[in-house]
Amino acid sequence: MLCGNFKKRIDRQGRVGIPKKLRDGFSKEAVVVAGCGDHIEIWTQERWASEQLRSQKVLDKVLN
């Protein structure tokens, strides 16, 4: 599921607001928030686990 890109600023308390369109896409599911550099990604736990497994398989192929 891809809800798009959003630019947000960090508020004085170090928080980032998540747009309603994106929040609605996840309903009340638990999510994983992953960040790198200047961006974050929000994944459902199921999709995150699937992506981690896929990435590990690719890495194993490259290293072997």
- pTM higher than 0.75 for the full model? no
For residue 59, the one-letter residue type is L
Specify burial of residue 5 (Cβ count, 10 A radius: 0-12, 13-18, 19+). Answer: exposed
Number of domains in the chain: 1
Domain assignment present for residue 51? The answer is: yes
Q: Is 47 helix (H, G, I), strand (E, B) or coil?
A: helix
* pLDDT reported for residue 35: 86
Q: Is 16 helix (H, G, I), strand (E, B) or coil?
A: coil
Domain assignment present for residue 6? The answer is: no
* pLDDT reported for residue 52: 94
Domain assignment present for residue 5? The answer is: no
What residue numbers bound the domain in which 41 lies? 20-63
Domain assignment present for residue 38? The answer is: yes
* pLDDT reported for residue 22: 79
* pLDDT reported for residue 38: 82
Domain assignment present for residue 28? The answer is: yes
Domain assignment present for residue 4? The answer is: no
Each residue of 10-62: pLDDT tens digit? 899 988 888 888 778 777 778 898 888 888 888 889 989 999 999 999 999 99
Domain assignment present for residue 3? The answer is: no
